[in-house]
Amino acid sequence: MNFYKKRKIVNRLMCSLAFLCAFLTLVPLLSIFGYVVSKGITSINLDFFIHLPKPVGESGGGMGNAIVGTLILIGLSCIWAIPVGICGGVYLSEFGNNKLGTIVRFTADVLNGVPSIVIGIFAYTLFVVPMKSFSAISGGFALGIIMIPTIMRTTEEMLILVPRTIREAALALGISQFRTTISIVLKTALPGIMTGILLAIARIAGETAPLLFTALGNRFWQRGLTQPIAALPLQIFAYAISPFDDWHRQAWAGALVLIVMVFLMSFISRFVIARRYKFLRSS
């Protein structure tokens, strides 16, 4: 009888511990949220979005150039990473059922696990050293490398979900495989692929480490793609470790903008697109 009681107590104890762990994790999440919103919201105004940073000692100013810079960097990385990622994914799902496919899949996983700072060094040796200047292009290249594995693997997964019968129906009508893949398979899986792309963008929007010695940062409006470029995360980092209260306030405001951007993208990809996409899973 005693043994039975002990088992019941242990059961109760372990189950409540698991429950506790699950809700304990929400504490840092809520704390970060609370800090960013409460400290950031007071410094957010129109000036913050359209003005340049002010020199030390002058209050006011904003992160307009950093916000634009982040958007430019995202654009630059998307330009090359999305086509490469999607084509790679198409290869893996349509022709990748062989040794070469396994190698590509493995490499994508390896690339996904490479610390982002190491990718920064790679972009530095490939672009900054020969060009002899930090530049927006090198930053876009580094961020693109981080995006590719995510886009590639989600594209592959989504294309595999498209029923074989649909492909066979198209091929039976005498349509080329190229046309079938582009107009039918890719089109059916498009919402899922979009999810992958948005997730990849959400991931790189907040990346700082690979930009430290590629994009470098810039206190002025952007003039060209071969110049150093400002980015929101870089600016937050620079302000956070500075000794000035005014800059700390700006850093919080920047963090609020960044976190809203990132969460919005995760949210859209998870709820809006995933909802519309459900019909594929059930078929």
| Interactions with another protein, residue window 134-163 (CB under 8 A) | 145, 148-149, 152
Does residue 97 bind another protein (CB under 8 A)? no
- Binders in 10-39 for another protein, by CB under 8 A: 10-11, 14-15, 17-22, 24-26, 28-29, 31-32, 35-36, 39
E strand intervals along the chain: none
* Inter-residue contact 175 to 266 (CB < 8 Å): no
Does residue 7 bind another protein (CB under 8 A)? yes
CB of 165 to another protein, least distance (A): 20
Does residue 94 bind another protein (CB under 8 A)? yes
- Which contacts of 115-122 are long-range, i.e. CB under 8 A and separated by 24 or more positions? 115/209, 116/142, 116/146, 116/207, 116/209, 116/210, 117/209, 117/210, 117/212, 119/145, 119/146, 119/210, 120/209, 120/210, 120/211, 120/212, 120/213, 120/214, 121/213
Does residue 42 bind another protein (CB under 8 A)? no
Backbone angles phi and psi of 83, in degrees to 5? -60, -45
CB of 224 to another protein, least distance (A): 21
Given the complex with another protein, which of 156 and 194 has the nearer CB atom? Answer: 156
Query: Three-class SS of residue 61?
Result: strand
Angle made by CA atoms 265, 227, 245, in degrees to the nearest 5:
65
* Inter-residue contact 72 to 211 (CB < 8 Å): no
Pairwise CA distance, residues 100 & 85, whole Å: 16
Does residue 255 bind another protein (CB under 8 A)? yes
Does residue 174 bind another protein (CB under 8 A)? yes
C-alpha distances out from residue 79 to 57, 144, 256, Å: 39, 9, 27
Given the complex with another protein, which of 50 and 87 has the nearer CB atom? Answer: 87
Q: Which of 45, 97, 176, 183 binds another protein (CB under 8 A)?
A: 176
- Residue in 146, 164, 280 with CA at minimum distance from that of residue 208: 146
Residue with tokens 């989504």: 158
- Binders in 192-251 for another protein, by CB under 8 A: 202, 205-209, 212-213, 216, 233, 236-237, 240-241, 248, 251
Q: Which of 113, 130, 224, 243 binds another protein (CB under 8 A)?
A: 113
- Binders in 53-72 for another protein, by CB under 8 A: none
Does residue 41 bind another protein (CB under 8 A)? no
Does residue 82 bind another protein (CB under 8 A)? no
Does residue 44 bind another protein (CB under 8 A)? no
Does residue 109 bind another protein (CB under 8 A)? yes
